[in-house]
Amino acid sequence: MDVYDEMAEYYDMIYSDHIDLDFYLKEARNAQGPVLEVACGTGRILLRLLQEGIDAVGIDLSQGMLEKLHDKATSLGIGANAVHADMGDFKLEKRFKLIIVPYRSFLHLKDDSARKKTLANFREHLTPGGCLILHTYNPSKAEMEMQGGYHKFDYEELSAKDGKRYSLEWFLDYEPIGRIGHYKIILRQGKEKPREFLMDLGYVPVEEMDALLKGAGFRNPRVYCGFGYSPFYDDCKEALWIAER
């Protein structure tokens, strides 16, 4: 079972940060045309775009996440065009003014072959002059030293909508060969058996991401630090890419 199918029930509680939402809403309005969200998950961004009246479509590889998205759309009284598809080989008849890939989802691709294929597919689905926005991540030196087994690096206490209290622990095992981050998330609630979720992310250095975008035919790729269009600097963790078809 896909880790996101396993996590779907708890995803909105675990990933409750909306620091990027205003940015994507602004870019989607400015696009003045249809928007595709890749890896739309449970609809954290897609449903807000639709509520704004924006012509938006979503794709995701996890059926469990899409089921949650459609349940949320029904409760909001809106229709959500979100389909099950892989970012590397989806084929849609529609072409888009903007494609967004939020929350580091592109990093689930762990080698350049998959990245090149996926970027080419994104470009194929953009209208001439359309834009691609990718969010990637640059691990710190401390994170890259977390090798040889899982190292705990974060702890949170969370409240669910039903009032239940959870604790959340994050672990990382960094693999230098291939620059892979192996993550383990442990979710605990009272005396229930802890739930464990495992996932891998493939980090892409800024200079290599720039080369990948240019190699796929994108024009004028530029990278910012975070979601306020701030200039990128070496120690910035949240890299935001904007490139044109």
* pLDDT for the residue numbered 156: 95
What is the count of structural domains for the chain? 2
Which amino acid is residue 189, in one-letter code? Q
Please write the tens of the pLDDT for every residue from 220-232.
999 999 999 999 9
User: Domain check: are 193 and 222 in the same one?
Assistant: no
Instruction: Note whether 153 and 239 are same-domain residues.
Output: no
Do 224 and 133 share a structural domain? yes
Domain range spanning residue 177? 141-201
- What pLDDT sits at residue 1? 58
Is there a single domain that holds both residue 234 and residue 152? no
Angle, CA 12 vertex, CA 180 and CA 3 arms, to 5°: 40
Q: Which residues pair with 224 in a beta bridge?
A: 231, 240
Same domain, 121 and 152: no
CB 120 within 8 A of CB 109: no
- CA gap 161, 64 in Å, rounded: 19
First to last CA, the chain: 35
Task: Kindly state whether residues 189 and 215 are assigned to the same domain.
Answer: no
Is 43 in the same domain as 113? yes
**Does residue 241 come out as left (phi exceeding 0), alpha (psi in the -120 to 50 range) or beta?**
beta
Backbone angles phi, psi at 70, to 5 degrees: -65, -35
* Whether residues 85 and 156 fall in one domain: no
Give yes or no: residues 224 and 181 share one domain.
Answer: no
> Each residue of 21-73: pLDDT tens digit?
999 999 999 999 999 999 999 999 999 999 999 999 999 999 999 999 999 99
Mutual orientation of helices 206-215 and 112-124 as an angle, nearest 10°? 50
Cβ–Cβ under 8 Å, residues 237 and 212 = no
User: Are 97 and 114 within one domain?
Assistant: yes
Q: Which of the four pLDDT bands, split at 50, 70 and 90, describes residue 212?
A: very high
pLDDT digits (tens, 9 = 90+) for 162-176: 889 999 999 999 999
Q: Which CATH number goes with the domain that contains 122? A: 3.40.50.150
pLDDT attached to residue 162: 87
